[in-house]
Amino acid sequence: MQLPYIKGFTFGWMSGKGVFRTPEAKQSLQLMQQHTGSEYVIIALAALQDHPQATTIDYQGRHMVDNDELIDMIEYAYSLGLKVILKPTVNCADGTWRAHINFFDHDVPCEPKWHEWFASYTEYQLHYARIAQQTNCEMLVVGCEMVQSDRRAEEWRQLIAEVRTVYTGKISYNADKYQEDRITWWDAVDVISSSGYYPLGHWEQQLDRIEAVVTRYNKPFFFVEAGCPSRTGSAHIPNDWSWDGEVNVEEQQNFYKEMFSHVQQRDWVRGFGLWDWSAELYPEAEALTDNGYGVYGKPAQQTILDFYTHHQVFTSS
């Protein structure tokens, strides 16, 4: 399968009901396109389950944008000339990272079970697969960094098969960093993708490892997430959103420069969904005091714009 080079940004993470209805959210999407040169927007949704062993996923509460406002935002993205990838994700309400969602491999009476969780999760994915089909989204990403669940190949294959009954576009799964070569069911998806939170100095080694996976499965690949907070020390642990470093916008920019310098030599890497661009932006005047993943008004923004604008788009092999 040929995959166009994805010059993208993740947008709207953790947006609750009503956020996409605001003029500020649409202005934010427009600024994302103008200031980064993005051609794709990855709209990431965050459903909730109570804790890592809960088996019911809530995708209709106030923590989620409504269906109609999501559809309206997708249509607005199209009006700007953007292509859309939809990424329904799940978080734990108690703050535990979703990678730790886990159950016994063998069913035990009175204990929560994998099949119960996958039933609820599949319902969730099918809901947004129908919206992705209705709105002609380019791709649907059916999971993100679900590390403990990755070993449940049979359930993931069944979920993807069910999604294909309602959605005809490309399907991907967002593996976590360092997990690309541990997933055994890449043949079930159309596009392999992962989170590119690799420390400075590690990119060549990790790209070599990922390339072996891409070659083995003969599938397109892109980094559906990649980024770094603007904090001292974060370039060496870019996945750690809780790191308590001082504001350092130059370190964030250096992360992007190194990542792009290595990736542009690998023609099998077909782009990025950089992390992340908020629907509710901080004021640009406060950009140099912000220590998050956002790049609005920071030096990294220009680095991304230069890469997306001038990067040679290789032909997929």
pLDDT tens for each residue of 123-152: 999 999 999 999 999 999 999 999 999 999
pLDDT tens for each residue of 50-95: 999 999 999 999 999 999 999 999 999 999 999 999 999 999 999 9
Buried b (16+ CB within 10 A) or exposed e, 252-277: bbbbbbbbbebbeebebbbbbbbbbb
Closest-CA residue to 9 (of 305, 315, 306): 305
* Torsion angle, alpha carbons of 104, 105, 111, 116, to 10: 120
**Contact between residue 297 and residue 284 where contact means Cβ atoms under 8 Å apart:** yes
In sequence order, the 6+-apart residues with CB closer than 8 A to the CB of 226 are: 195, 196, 197, 259, 272, 273, 274, 275
Instruction: Please state, in angstroms and rounded to a whole number, the distance separating the CA atoms of residues 135 and 31.
Output: 22
pTM over the 0.85 mark? yes
Domains of the chain as residue ranges with CATH = 6-310 (3.20.20.80)
pLDDT tens for each residue of 161-214: 999 999 999 999 999 999 999 999 999 999 999 999 999 999 999 999 999 999
Instruction: Please state, in angstroms and rounded to a whole number, the distance separating the CA atoms of residues 244 and 248.
Output: 12
**Contact between residue 10 and residue 42 where contact means Cβ atoms under 8 Å apart:** yes
